[in-house]
Amino acid sequence: MSAIQKIKGFADLFPEDSRAFTRMEDAARDIFGRYGFGELRIPVLERTELFAKGIGEDTDVVGKEMYTFTDRGGRSLTMRPEATAGALRAAIEAGAVEPGKATRLYAFGPMFRYERPQKGRMRQFHQIDAELLGSPEPHADVEVILMLRDYLEELGIGELAFELNSLGCRNCRPDYRAALTAYFEKLDAQQLCEDCRRRMHTNPLRVLDCKVPGCKALVADAPAIGQHLCGDCRSHFDAVLRLLDSSGLAYALNPRLVRGLDYYQRTTFEVTSGAIGAQTAVAGGGRYDGLVQLLGGPDAPGVGFACGMERLAMLMEKPEAKRPDFFLAVTDAREGGGAVDAAVLLAHKLRARQLVGECDYSAGSMKSRLRHAGRIKARKCYIIGPEEFDSGTVTIKDMDGGGQIQIERAAFD
């Protein structure tokens, strides 16, 4: 019988890989904690309407990529494709969002999108997500972007490009949408994909984000939002850029940066790397004023970002495993000798002294035991052979210096 295999686009992470994930989580707790963010843990499953409403029906994420099913109670549920909608749902439900009061939250975890798997693109992937709710000021955008920069720096990831844009607000967006629709109407609409022929009327910004090559080529000369920003959006964006300039962060303006989710208003940003193949975005985010209200909460603004952990892992140096303090080897193979029992009890006492290590469950030759201790890079090899067992001692061999001592096992009681 052949063994059951994992689902396409899903991955198993063994210790060599999950060490990088632990490092990313530890660094997030450290850096985000310095900015006053607290950890939020939210469910993987949410009602489908949360994402349909929050992310937008016309987006690829909602229209084509969600894992949606009906549960045994007849409810339509979806495995979260991102964390923002769920984080806001949780904060609204708990009464934690108030206009004028900053609420700072971050979350880690698996997200699910039915995309075509390739290098850096999975169907189950992991995000580190941060959301700052309640502050309309450009300073909030800047703090969030600087926190992301500090975080990536902490992970030792260099050579990243920060790109920024402003998508305007509900006052100036209609004007821009009209300009976009007029532009697409002048083109030969047959050249657009079927979805975009519809979107050019319902949600023309989505055409700018379409991944179909024909659509990509057609949007090259489309009008940019920059000329359509209202006074408030212009001054908000100018303030963000001015502060970022003073912070020393190097960034580029990208008028084509519309992001793949409908909730963005004003500032959007993305961090890309040329070193991870075709999927270059390692993090993305922006301001989403209006989303809290759309999801039934108060009129509180918000800004945040998410990093793709698999993509960060590709850019990070692989963290080394911590060297174990000991390997406890048993070389006393006498029938009923009890040396393995003694080893397990001694190892337990060593761990109570904060030492890290593993022990044998059966006796073997000294040569094979020392070889194993070397392979796992143990600092010391503790040996219980026939002589040690009978005399109530243990030999401790220093695997770096080579010296050894023999001491009483009772010394560890």
- On whether 84 is known to bind a ligand per the annotation, the reply is yes
Residue with tokens 């632990």: 22
- Rule CB under 6 A: say whether 369 interacts with ligand HAM: no
- On whether 113 is known to bind a ligand per the annotation, the reply is yes
- Rule CB under 6 A: say whether 82 interacts with ligand HAM: yes
Interacting span for ligand HAM (CB under 6 A) from 152-160, 300-308, 359-367, 370-378 = 300-308
- Which residue's CB is nearer to ligand HAM, number 74 or number 274? 274
- Which residue's CB is nearer to ligand HAM, number 212 or number 281? 281
Residue with tokens 């023309």: 204
Do residues 286 and 261 touch, judged by C-beta distance below 8 A?
Answer: no
- Rule CB under 6 A: say whether 258 interacts with ligand HAM: no
Cβ count near 6 (within 10 Å): 9
- On whether 25 is known to bind a ligand per the annotation, the reply is no
- Which residue's CB is nearer to ligand HAM, number 310 or number 332? 310
Closest CB 112 distance from ligand HAM, rounded Å: 9
Q: What is the rounded CA–CA span in Å between residue 200 and residue 191?
A: 12
| Size of residue set near ligand HAM by CB under 6 A | 27
In sequence order, which residues have a C-beta less than 8 Å from that of residue 74 and are 6 or more positions away? none
- Rule CB under 6 A: say whether 306 interacts with ligand HAM: yes
C-alpha gyration radius of the chain:
28
- On whether 358 is known to bind a ligand per the annotation, the reply is no
Question: Exactly one of 21, 32, 176, 305 binds ligand HAM (CB under 6 A); which one?
Answer: 305
Residues 217-256 that bind ligand HAM (CB under 6 A): none
Closest CB 380 distance from ligand HAM, rounded Å: 42
Q: Is 55 helix (H, G, I), strand (E, B) or coil?
A: helix
Interacting span for ligand HAM (CB under 6 A) from 118-126, 179-187, 350-358, 363-371 = 118-126
- Which residue's CB is nearer to ligand HAM, number 59 or number 393? 59
Partner residues linked to 109 by β-bridges:
127
Compute the C-alpha angle 248/242/274, nearest 5°: 50
- Rule CB under 6 A: say whether 80 interacts with ligand HAM: no
Q: What is the rounded CA–CA span in Å between residue 252 and residue 254?
A: 6
- On whether 242 is known to bind a ligand per the annotation, the reply is no
Phi, psi of 125 (to 5 degrees): -130, 175
Distances (CA, A) of 85 to 24, 53, 131: 22, 9, 10
Closest CB 274 distance from ligand HAM, rounded Å: 14
Question: Exactly one of 46, 58, 60, 129 binds ligand HAM (CB under 6 A); which one?
Answer: 129
Q: Is 25 helix (H, G, I), strand (E, B) or coil?
A: helix
- Which residue's CB is nearer to ligand HAM, number 251 or number 389? 251
Q: What is the rounded CA–CA span in Å between residue 308 and residue 161?
A: 15
Which amino acid is residue 369, in one-letter code?
R
Token reading at 232: 């408030």
Which amino acid is residue 268, in one-letter code?
T
- Tell the burial category of 337 from Cβ atoms under 10 Å away from its Cβ (0-12, 13-18, 19+): middle
Interface characters, 259-298, with ligand HAM (x: CB under 6 A)? -xx-------------------xxxxxx-x----------
Query: Using the 8-state DSSP alphabet, how is residue 297 labeled?
Result: S
- Rule CB under 6 A: say whether 131 interacts with ligand HAM: yes
**Looking at beta carbons, which residue is closest to ligand HAM?**
308
Q: Is 287 helix (H, G, I), strand (E, B) or coil?
A: strand
Closest CB 310 distance from ligand HAM, rounded Å: 5
Compute the C-alpha angle 396/401/407, nearest 5°: 20
CA atoms within 13 A on the CB side of 135: 16
- Rule CB under 6 A: say whether 51 interacts with ligand HAM: no
Interacting span for ligand HAM (CB under 6 A) from 28-36, 90-98, 245-253, 301-309 = 301-309
- Rule CB under 6 A: say whether 311 interacts with ligand HAM: yes
- On whether 176 is known to bind a ligand per the annotation, the reply is no
- Rule CB under 6 A: say whether 164 interacts with ligand HAM: no
- Rule CB under 6 A: say whether 115 interacts with ligand HAM: yes
H-state helical runs in 263-335: 291-294, 309-315
Closest CB 40 distance from ligand HAM, rounded Å: 12
- Rule CB under 6 A: say whether 21 interacts with ligand HAM: no
Do residues 112 and 67 touch, judged by C-beta distance below 8 A?
Answer: yes
From the annotation, which residues make up the binding site for L-histidine? 82-84, 113, 127, 131, 259, 263-264
Q: Which residues bind ligand HAM (CB under 6 A)?
A: 82-84, 113, 115, 120-122, 125, 127, 129, 131, 260-261, 281-286, 288, 304-306, 308, 310-311
